[in-house]
Amino acid sequence: MAEAVAFYGLTAVALGASLVVALSRNMVHAAVSLIPVLLSVAGYYVLLGAEFVAAIQILIYAGAITVLILFVILLTEGATGVRVRPRNEQVSLGALVCLFLAALLVAVLTRTPWPQTQGALPEYNPGAVGQSFLTAYVLPFEVTSLLIVACLVGAIVVARREA
Amino acid sequence: MKGVPLDWAYVAAFALLGSLLAALPFAVVWLLAPRSSYSQKRLTYESGVIPFGDAWAQFHVRYYLYGLVFLLFDIEVIFIYPWTVVLRQLGPLAFVEMLIFIVVLAVGLAYAWRKGGLEWT
Amino acid sequence: MMAEAIRVVLSVVIVFTFVAVGVALFLVLMERKVSAWVQARIGPRHVGPYGTLQTLADLLKLLQKEHILPAGADRLMFGVAPVVVAVAALMSYVVLPWGPGVIVRDLGVGVLYFAAVLSLEVVGILTAGWASNNKYALLGGLRSAAQMVSYELPLGFSILTVAAIAGTLSTVRIVEAQPYPWYTYPSVLLAGLVFLVAATAESNRIPFDLPEAESELVAGYFSEYSPLRFALFQLGEYGSLFATSALFVTLFLGGWRGPFGIPFVGPVVDGLFWFLLKTYAVVFFFMWVRWTYPRFRIDQLLNVSWKLLLPLSLANLLLAGLLVAWSG
């Protein structure tokens, strides 16, 4: 019962804020509205029992990525005139494509027999996650570090070239 | 509601009730404070001079770089959190794995440092 | 179910009251008294015994002041930003262990949650700076964000060092895992020092308060904020200062535990007493530093973080990990 309330509450917040993100004319409003969306996703993780993922969702997405997005917006759009035209002449065509895509997604999601994972979620999340990526999934873990460094090098190269 | 969701119900309560309580004094002010808006009063402050130009500031790419490097290391940090919890059980192997991970990232940091990505100017 | 609901509401009320009175009101006064003592003067003394009601009087005055929204400022963001900062600070109180068994909720991911919530403050400050339509505020907000973000990493690493030694992320278990009187593992001292420096920077306090610097940027990102919203920012600032000090006590100073063999009233009351004593002592330390040192330049401040503290705390973490992995 409480779960249902929480779920629908989170969904309402997520959908509402997403609409603001997509439709707002003010880029900074859009960026800041992203925060409720990200926090609701964290809420979903909690409802699924994945509190570790929820915490890192808040830490990374709401805490770091939003800051980065805001920096980028201020860097490119400038402080005041952050008015963007969210609609142009092709609105109707775009809307049609969106509806089609939505219908497709709903059809696929409802008709696929999703396999259920066996077993229950481990009690202590961080411990279980740690066990898995340090034993069974070591390789993806180490490769991630390479991915991160590649990202870093790329950003430095691009940014410094312009300076 | 069992353990974990209940934990976070507290978090949600703090967030919601906190926002409510933070907004409460505004109601008080709305009731108590005078309200007389005239254009002079609403000028933004610029050391006594009339503000000129739009409110912009020099947006260097450095803000973005600091933000980006922070984000990348933040991702490193989220791997380290579970590692701290299982380190004692898994022993030296886990340590070496994390060492490799961190060293690779340290190389990235060194690169950024050398290329001036961490400079203010 | 009902009992839990009551407990939720009760803990919210108790914590918020404590934060409003014992933290915000008291710390503002404490700051003024400490600064006075450092500067060889007396500080507030007329309102209430020894000036203790001064902050309350100030607050009552602030409540009557007019709200001014600067021309061209973004009304919604302008209003939301201080609330974000204050709420983020309040949310961090959920995992503070005030005494044995005295905690709002011992989250399994305790310290991670704390770090996550603190990182939300940066967004509030950035938004506040932008929303004011004022060059100084925007610049202050940007610099503040860059600074806070740069120091979040060393702070995180020093927390992780203790977590690695304790083998848990739960604040309660971290306290319980400490030998008497607190951790004496080799890397803990350095981690503690890094934490103190990073925490000072995260709270935008001198020597790291360039974003708010009075003489340079008027008042930084809150230049344009009229009294009550300003008060909310202060609540957030002092709130997170207290919470961070409390975390320091939890991680490095043995939490609620007092010197062994001296039971006074009972474990809970004793615990509360020692916890509060230690936390206020750490807060005092932060204030003492503030009124003693000059401030860093922005480039110095960022260099200290990225080029000194980050490699240092990282190496320190690895050292601790090495010791734990080989001994455990």
Of C109, C126, C133, nearest to A126 by CB-CB distance is C109
- Tell me: the pLDDT tens digits for A66-77? 999 988 887 776
Q: Touching check for B94 and chain C: CB below 8 Å?
A: yes
The residue-averaged pLDDT of A96-108 equals 93
Which B residues, 82 through 121, put their C-beta within 8 Å of a C-beta on chain A? 82-86, 90, 93-94, 97-98, 100-102, 104-105, 107-109, 111-112, 115-117
Q: Is the pLDDT of residue B107 over 50?
A: yes
Chain B CB contacts of C298 under 8 Å are 120
Instruction: Specify which residues C97 forms β-bridges with.
Output: C103
pTM, full prediction:
0.88
More confident residue, A83 or B48: A83
Residues of chain C with pLDDT under 70: 1, 46-52, 62-75, 133-136, 181, 210-227, 260-263, 328
Residues of A in contact with C112 (CB under 8 A): 52, 55-56, 59, 126
pLDDT of residue A30: 86
Q: pLDDT tens-digit profile of A27-57?
A: 888 888 999 999 999 999 988 888 899 999 9
Mean pLDDT, all residues of chain B: 77
Q: What is the pLDDT of residue B8?
A: 85
More confident residue, A141 or C207: A141
Question: Does residue B46 register a pLDDT over 60?
Answer: no
- Domain ranges within chain A, ordered by starting residue: 1-85, 123-163
Q: For position C158, what pLDDT does the model report?
A: 94
How many Cα atoms are found within 13 Å in the side-chain-facing hemisphere of B35? Answer: 5
pLDDT at B40 over 70: no
Residue C312 has a pLDDT of 93
CATH number of A1-85: 1.20.120.1200
ipTM value greater than 0.95: no
| Cβ atoms of residues C228 and B25 within 8 Å | yes
Q: Which three-class secondary structure string do you get for chain C?
A: CHHHHHHHHHHHHHHHHHHHHHHHHHHHHHHHHHHHHHCCCCCCCCCCHHHCCHHHHHHHHHHCCCCCCCCCCCHHHHHHHHHHHHHHHHHHHHHCEEECCEECCCCCCHHHHHHHHHHHHHHHHHHHHHHCCCHHHHHHHHHHHHHHHHHHHHHHHHHHHHHHHHCCCCHHHHHHCCCCCCCCCHHHHHHHHHHHHHHHHHCCCCCCCHHHCCCCCCCHHHCCCCHHHHHHHHHHHHHHHHHHHHHHHHHHCCCCCCCCCCCCCCHHHHHHHHHHHHHHHHHHHHHHHHCCCCCCCHHHHHHHHHHHHHHHHHHHHHHHHHHHHHHC
Write down the residue that tokens 């994972």 correspond to.
A117
Those residues with Cβ within 8 angstroms of residue C241's Cβ, 6 or more apart along the chain or in another chain: C27, C203, C205, C283, C286
Residue B1 scores a pLDDT above 50 = no
* Max intra-chain CA distance, chain B: 70
Q: If you average pLDDT over residues A3-20, what whole number do you get?
A: 91
pLDDT at C126: 86
**pLDDT, tens only, B13-38:** 888 888 888 777 777 766 666 555 55
Domains of chain B: 3-114 (1.20.58.1610)
Q: Which tens digits make up the pLDDT trace of A49-68? A: 888 999 999 999 999 999 99
Instruction: Scan residues 52-71 of B and list those with Cβ closer than 8 Å to C.
Output: 55-57, 59, 62-63, 66-67, 69-70
Residue C112: which of A55, A64, A124 has the nearest Cβ? Answer: A55
A&B contacts, CB < 8 Å: 147
Whether residue C155 contacts residue A59, with contact meaning beta carbons closer than 8 Å, is answered with no
So what's the pLDDT on residue C246?
Answer: 93
